[in-house]
Amino acid sequence: MQDWWQATFPQGKQYLTISDACGYPVKIAYGEKGKGKPLFLLHGVGSWSYNWRNSVEALSKYFRVICFDAKGFGFSEKPLYRQEIPGHQAIEFERIICQLCDEPVIIVAESLGALISLAIAQNNPQLIASMVVINLPVFAEDLPHWGMKALSMAPLEVIKVIDYLRLTYWFAPLVRKLIETERREVLFDPSILTKKDIYWITYPFIKIPGTLSKAAEELQIAAQEINKSRTNKGSWLTQIQDKLHLINSPVLILWGEYDSWFPPSHGEKLNQYLPNSKLQIIPKCGHDASTGATKIINQAVIDFLIKKI
């Protein structure tokens, strides 16, 4: 099957090296297409740049579109032997921005990626020109899927052994089926997910050792953060919630009408907290909006941003 990076970006898959939140060098996979103001497309937990497969071409007509795989996901490096800290993704995203761009950037992000973007807008607003955030867990009360909960509760050492033994590779049909089932559950129209989509969505979990371990580690951190937030204990998540009013960048909030993971009422609440935001509910759309409502999202992003260039 043709390499997705080569088929999507003029220079294919590229790499840059940044210092991660712990100070260690880490290789980040990315691709870019188009000219103009830099626009980053940021995926959620367990995903990679392929989630934006239907947006790169449309948005690159107006912007310099940059997709990257967050540390531990997709084709980026997966350091397995050092403990992550809550919010490390925001620190690392900032360093990616600074290395690739010399002006404030636009961010279009979904789910955990959108939450990370809010943290950057709070702590380093000079990096952000404007944002589009989609279906994000800013007021999450629990991990939304049984598979996520299972990974968050599994001993990390056991998951690392599974990775080391390449069991996801040897049981590839089962892994594909499990991930396919989860992905179809978050689409309003599950039939739009093709065999090619399943192949690439599951590729890192099956072909690249360390992916499952990093997903489990991130979900364990997420579960701890949600629990601290729910019990009124200090956490990275509560810090974001408490400082939403400090975000002055223009923000478009997009929310799936039928998001079964985080309901549209969370989007309405977020819109009330942000001083310079606009909320748009996407009809006939579940949590996976980048796949399930691509045309609507692309047009909403263009309409929202072109006025601000």
Helix axis angle for 172-185 and 195-207, nearest 10°, is: 120
Helix, strand counts (H, E) of the chain: 14, 8
pLDDT of residue 205: 95
Structure tokens at 269: 């609440």
Segment holding 119, helix H or strand E: helix 112-123
| The two three-digit tokens of residue 94, written as one number | 């900032």
**Secondary structure of residue 33 in the 3-state scheme:** strand
The kind and range of the H/E element at 108 are strand 105-110
**Which of the listed CATH numbers 3.40.50.1820, 3.40.630.10, 3.20.20.70, 3.30.70.1050 matches domain 4-142+231-306?**
3.40.50.1820
Give the per-residue pLDDT at 308. Answer: 56
Q: Which ranges of the chain have pLDDT less than 70?
A: 307-309
Q: What is the largest CA-CA distance in the chain?
A: 52
Q: Amino acid identity, residue 273?
A: Y
CA count, 13 A, side-chain hemisphere, 158:
6
DSSP bridge pairs for 105: 128
Say how far apart CA 82 and CA 99 lie, in whole Å.
24
Q: What is the pTM of this model?
A: 0.95
Neighbours of 98 (CB within 10 A): 13
Q: Could you count the other beta carbons within 10 Å of the beta carbon of residue 233?
A: 11
**β-strand partners of 63:** none
